[in-house]
Chain A
Amino acid sequence: MDDKKTKKFEEDKTEKKDETVHLKKEIEELENRVKRIFADYQNLEKRVAEEKRALIFNSNKNLLLNLLPVLDTLMLALAHTKDKGLELSIKQFTDTLEAEGVSRIETKDKLFDPLLMECVGTKEGEELKVLEETRTGYKLGDIILRPALVIVGKKDIDEKEKTCKN
């Protein structure tokens, strides 16, 4: 009788042990899942923050890209009229852009750099040197808003290459 009881007890014990192992494993799995979901969520939060930043940046970028041609025209007007009032107005405009993180791409006396400039034509002159800027380029922070359009010097220029191609 006692043997039977002991046997039953042992069986129960093994069963409980198995169950405990099983439950522990299940808890571990669930914990892992929770951790994973938590990590996913944190990643998502980071991604959303990044996307928000990108959205603001791109909205500003698009607005600026639409405004820059107006500035180009004002500069052309200044070149023709040499009006002091217009000059001051342009300065006010460019100062505002600068305050918003927009900077002009310098091309004077520089060598052609395709990261910042786009070549729209070549002229006989010092190899790879920027000879003329046909449209000013701008950066917003470190990112190119639009490249500067330039005419670049070339030593042995042949007629076929002179044509502008895009």
Chain B
Amino acid sequence: MTSKATSQEPAVRIPGGTRQVTPSGVRLVRDWMKSKNRNPFPFQRATWKAILSGHSGLLHSPTGTGKTLAIWLGALADWINGQADQQQWRTHKRPTRQKAVPLQVLWITPLRALAADTLAALEEPVGELGLPWRVERRTSDTSSSVKTRQRERLPSCLVTTPESLSLLLSYPRSAEAFSTLKLIVVDEWHELMGTKRGVQTELGLSRLRGLNPRVMTWAVSATIGNLEEAVATALGKKTYPCDLPLVSSPATEETREPAPVVGGTRTVIRAPLRRKLSIRSLIPESIERFPWAGHMGLKSLDGVLQALESVQSSLLFTNTRSQAERWYAALLHARPEWAGQLGLHHGSLDRDKRKWVEQELDAGRLRCVVCTSSLDLGVDFFPVEQVLQVGSPKGIARLMQRAGRSGHYPGGKSQLVFVPTHALELVELAAARDGLKQNRIEARPPRTGCLDVLAQHVVTVAAGGNLQPQQLLAEVRQTHAFEYLEDQQWDWVMDFVERGGESLKAYPDFRRVKRTDSGYRVADSSIARRHRMNIGTIPSDQEVMVRFLKGGRLGTLEERFVSRLKPGDRFTFAGRTLKLVMFRDMTAWVRKSSGKVSAVPRWMGGRLPLSSELAEAVRNRLAEASRGEFRGPEMRAVRPLLELQETWSRIPDDQTLLIEKVKTREGFHLFFFPFEGRLVHEGLAALLAWRISRLQPITFATTVNDYGVELLSPTDPPLEEAVERGLFSLLGLQNQIEKSMNATELDRRQFRDIARIAGLVGGGLPGQGKSSRQLQASSDLFFDVFREFDAGNLLLKQARREVLSQQLEHRRLEAAMQRLASGEILIQHPPKPTPLAFPILVDRLRSRLSSEKLEDRISRMTRQFETLANQDAKRGGA
């Protein structure tokens, strides 16, 4: 997005436009908008024109309304223009399934919860314009009778999720069903594109384009750092009619007018930022008394209450679900009179509970909703005046997205109040402000080469009819994810679904997909059924339903949490105090309770690492502080603390790696402060511990947070010697990381998702009851069996690759090592743990990781035993 706009006109120019554009469709939809007292924005008109010209493209805007209508009215106008007689099609009532216009638009949304809202927004103009269209949705919530009818004849527009699209493709006659499709819309593409669901969507789209090459694709995305990749992933390599280089330009800042520049058939349209954004922090009155560490932030409760009282309606975002539960309870405790005006919203709550909160919020009846990223997406709630963010947003895009959830009323302004949970988070916010100002929005790197998703897709296509390998391969290679798929990988995937694995001998009697004269097909209908049940790529931890004994569902909890509870234990969930009565058949039966709570549930997924953009901004802010510059209220507030850091040790600047060595009663602590985010630090911690222990046998307990790494040992570690002998050397990095991290265990964990997506583990057959359990095995078992009996299995290699790229952020780690290796190393010996070190110290009390792995310890015990035994034998023989 760096090229300057070459055109002065805001309108779209279509080079060599071949279609006769009749304006009647546009006029109709424009008049409809005007009848609603809305004037089409320039970006909306630009989108209509692009769609009428048959272009594919991407529409991106910071949060805000109008994106849906930009595309939808374009699609409707296009259809109207295609009708011969303008009067004939008008209808007063919703057409029957048979009479409705056949499938025109497929609208893919990342969340099934969004599908209902999208549906309502799409139906409004259809009904009022009297179009003979049916708009329906199809998600996992749709009843099976409706699904069956939809399969017989799809509605004019279908709102669906990536999983439901794959399912549709897995039924026979899908080619016929999609033959009339004109337009695919991928909504909130930024949410999908960095995930395996994104890859699944890419494959689904490539299949649709394979079935119907003339179909247009429009992606809708929030602002992200890699829009080019967003376009490439959503639109694929080739989009009808030809593939010309993508040209686009940024919106002109002065006019805030979109300046879409069209190159070939791909258009990128930028909707202008419409609302102003104001951010303020709840600066603690006395920074000295404000905690140096922590993650709940309840210390700022009074300030939060004041902020909530100052407006009618607020959203309070927390970073984790357990934080949300705690904050909800704390607010209700402080203001019991707010009962009924407070809502709790997070992903594990029952859908009905969430829906109620959304409705009440929309109606303006709630003062505050405590929520997690579950409310990051979706329709805007007009009453919300301000957003409070508890704890660091960890990324610039996330801060922007959340702030944008407020101020949707006319003339409104997005307001964000930042609630720090510990003092140093003020630095993170100051840094996030810089990032926002400089527009350094994080990228969402798309996933590539996921063979598990590809294997699933191949079976999906085979279930849908005769699969032609060469044709499918050509389609698959049109996607960004598999653009560079090697022949050998493709052959392996085909072998995997046809024979089980590479070698025919190792997988006797295997059947899943079989070759026939007319193409590949699924071996039998029960395999197809089983496959359909397990389509999808969403990681699912074993979840336990929480229900009242008297009836009523509350939501879900992770099994690992529930299995630790005993009947009678009290815990908070869904904003209530509950007592566990029994845990049976994956359901936790509870009763309402009161009194002392013994546990707040924790969910995995855990804490997000600091994004590299924000991490860099933090380093810059600290570098300023090291020069004595403290800009802005946050930095001024945290100044005394940083000055103390400077007195005891040093404030690291961007050229230096600060290492602090402190001795306490616990032992010798080494603190390293690379400020690279916790994932990178995890890899780094293991690597540093491993390298030091090569000089001298020593065991470390390691802890990390977003700022740094702690290595704790009972004996004095040879730090200076290690630094001299290349502690930060780039030599042998990857190999040593794998060795030091116990990569096998990490692979095993990563393999869980892969095993499910590739169809190794999953639910049994419907109606088979108990006997289907005989086909269940855990992914751990598969992992062991593959390692022992089929070590060349590419899924194992994929697990390793994902561990390196996703878990350890290997590239980032390498970049960090490069930075550290070229910078200056500063070793300090402060009298006690410094303000920077303190949060890590506290973190250690919560999670302890030993550098020596259990298997090693067991084999060490074995060796010890054998030595003892040998000694005994010698003694006996002597």
Query: Do A and B belong to a common assembly?
Result: no
A residues with a Cβ closer than 8 A to B are: none
Query: Which B residues have a C-beta under 8 Å from some C-beta of A?
Result: none
